[in-house]
């Protein structure tokens, strides 16, 4: 496969492809019309094949290929989610080797990707390897990554094994960031507060920042499954969010989202937005000015993201669960 511009690759394995993923793909395509969009799937999603839009190059990977990408042996990955999210790095590595793709972007499906034009040229000036947003000394996230040296991905795999035993791909990349000269940390929203805790690519080079998780969680909330008895509101502050949110404003310009630092009197483009709540359509509508989430955010006001009914039903459900557990313990 000969590709002149780095493709944007998505991976979904282990369960049926979510319908909200179609909106995410369309958003990424509309912002990157000159870039090949690749979607790698397993046979769990074969029934949705006709729904995948023409602008996506989809590949249904064989069971044999998927199994060849298993991380086997003495590892500490627990649960299908962490196993599959870690295995996707191996899938990307093997797929790109086979297709002779030497440089690529990869994004998690619950990320909205803005215009990446010119970004690879900027990052290529920095070096050869693997670029990912880092939000702590111990982890970096593959929310949006850039790779211009496929071999760098293969180096990450050893950190799942002894003596490191990374328990997620985030922490495997974290080990990689400490011990490899092929890792480059992309600046997040908190770059100005890192204070040499780790090195990162200068924002003067990127002319923008990357969302590991904190910005998307702050604007559009966390995954609703983490608070089953409450309505989901935004303005959640991730433990790795190092800046004061009152010092930030967000605004739209030319279909891009910008973050304005009041104390720095400087704005930066946001290259990706990690929609942890999976409310992709709501987020896209907000970015198209169809609701007041950003406006309220800049005024310090929370917005409802989902599960309005839990204002009434949440306490009832919590009470029923409490009684159920009480009766269960009583019978013991």
> Who contacts 62 (Cβ-Cβ below 8 Å, separation ≥6)?
none
Type and span of the H or E element at 295: helix 293-298
Q: Are 35 and 64 in contact (CB under 8 A)?
A: no
| 0.75 surpassed by pTM | yes
Domain with 66 in it: what CATH number? 3.90.550
Residue 77 confidence (pLDDT) = 83
Residue 319 confidence (pLDDT) = 65
Residue 75 confidence (pLDDT) = 87
Q: Are 293 and 239 in contact (CB under 8 A)?
A: no
Residue 311 pLDDT grade (very low, low, confident, very high; cuts 50, 70, 90): low
Domain tally, the chain: 1
Q: Are 13 and 44 in contact (CB under 8 A)?
A: yes
Residue of higher predicted confidence among 174 and 229: 174
Burial of residue 203, with CB atoms counted within 10 A of its CB: 0-12 exposed, 13-18 middle, 19 or more buried: middle
The tokens for 77 are 């990955």
Residue 76 confidence (pLDDT) = 83
Residue 78 confidence (pLDDT) = 79
- For the residues 223-246, what does the mean pLDDT come to? 92
Domain residues for the domain of 155 are 1-332
On the CB side of 294, CA atoms within 13 Å amount to 21
Residue 85 pLDDT grade (very low, low, confident, very high; cuts 50, 70, 90): confident
Instruction: Indicate whether 2 pLDDT > 70.
Output: no
Instruction: Indicate whether 313 pLDDT > 80.
Output: no
Specify the 3-state DSSP secondary structure of 28: helix
Residue 49 confidence (pLDDT) = 93
Give per-residue pLDDT as tens, 273-302. Answer: 999 999 999 999 999 999 999 999 999 999
């Amino acid at each position: 496969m000969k590709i002149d511009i780095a493709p944007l690759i998505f991976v979904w394995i282990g369960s049926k492809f979510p319908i909200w993923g179609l909106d995410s793909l369309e958003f990424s395509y509309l912002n990157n019309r000159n870039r090949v969009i690749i979607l790698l799937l397993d046979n769990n999603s074969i029934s949705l094949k006709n729904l995948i839009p023409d602008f996506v190059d989809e590949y249904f990977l064989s069971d044999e290929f998927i199994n060849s990408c298993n991380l086997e042996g003495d590892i500490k990955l627990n649960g299908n989610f962490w196993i599959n999210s870690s295995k996707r790095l191996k899938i990307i590595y093997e797929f790109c080797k086979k297709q002779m793709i030497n440089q690529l972007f990869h994004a998690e499906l619950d990320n909205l990707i803005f215009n990446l034009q010119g970004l690879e040229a900027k990052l290529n000036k920095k070096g050869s390897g693997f670029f990912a947003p880092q939000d702590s000394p111990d982890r970096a996230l593959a929310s949006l990554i850039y790779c211009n040296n496929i071999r760098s991905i293969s180096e990450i795999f050893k950190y799942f094994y002894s003596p490191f035993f990374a328990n997620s791909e985030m922490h495997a990349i974290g080990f990689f960031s400490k011990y490899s000269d092929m890792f480059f940390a992309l600046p997040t929203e908190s770059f100005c507060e890192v204070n040499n805790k780790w090195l990162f690519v200068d924002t003067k080079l990127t002319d923008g920042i990357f969302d590991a998780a904190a910005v998307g969680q702050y604007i559009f909330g966390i995954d609703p499954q983490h608070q089953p008895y409450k309505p989901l509101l935004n303005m959640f502050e991730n433990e790795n969010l190092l800046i004061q949110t009152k010092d930030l404003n967000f605004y739209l310009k030319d279909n891009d989202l910008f973050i304005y630092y009041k104390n720095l009197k400087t704005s930066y483009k946001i290259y990706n937005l990690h929609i942890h709540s999976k409310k992709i359509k709501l987020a896209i509508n907000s970015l198209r000015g169809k609701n007041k989430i950003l406006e309220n955010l800049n005024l310090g006001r929370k917005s409802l993201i989902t599960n309005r009914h839990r204002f009434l039903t949440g306490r009832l459900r919590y009470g029923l669960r409490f009684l159920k557990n009480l009766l269960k313990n009583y019978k013991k």
